[in-house]
């Protein structure tokens, strides 16, 4: 019988899936990945068409799992996609689904 996925790894993957279990967070991650440059909350708010407080809450969740990184800039914060972390997500899905993984030795984000 094959061993179960390590509990710590399983918990990390579960947190990633929870973070992307909301359409707005998926849109924000996609926006930041497509732009490939840091954006302010105001810019992200304008793009997704939601209240700044709502966007800030979604960004908080995405930063907690490190899909999004925060860069201080004067009195504001700029947000950018963490490409290293996001690149691991498809591999996590493959592991959970029992598919062969091309890069099993990747460092966690």
Q: What is the pTM for the complete model shown?
A: 0.79
Q: How far apart are CA 39 and CA 57, in angstroms?
A: 16
Q: How far apart are CA 68 and CA 71, in angstroms?
A: 10
Q: How far apart are CA 49 and CA 43, in angstroms?
A: 10
- Compute the mean pLDDT over every residue in the chain, rounded to the nearest whole number: 84
Encode pLDDT of 23-63 as tens digits.
Answer: 999 999 999 999 989 999 999 999 999 999 999 999 999 99
User: Phi/psi zone of residue 66: left (φ > 0), alpha (ψ -120 to 50 degrees), beta?
Assistant: left
Counting Cβ atoms within 10 Å, is residue 8 exposed (0-12), middle (13-18) or buried (19+)?
exposed
Task: Go through the domains of the chain in sequence order and give each one's CATH number.
Answer: 7-89 (1.10.10.10)
């Amino acid at each position: 019988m094959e061993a179960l996925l390590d509990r710590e790894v399983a918990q990390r993957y579960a947190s990633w899936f929870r973070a992307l279990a909301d359409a707005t967070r998926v849109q924000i991650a996609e926006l930041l990945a497509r732009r490939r440059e840091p954006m302010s909350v105001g810019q992200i708010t304008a793009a997704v068409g939601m209240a700044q407080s709502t966007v800030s809450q979604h960004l908080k969740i995405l930063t907690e799992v490190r899909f999004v990184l925060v860069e201080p800039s004067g009195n504001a914060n700029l947000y950018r996609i963490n490409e290293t972390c996001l690149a691991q997500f498809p591999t996590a899905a493959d592991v959970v689904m029992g598919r062969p993984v091309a890069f099993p030795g990747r460092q966690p984000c």
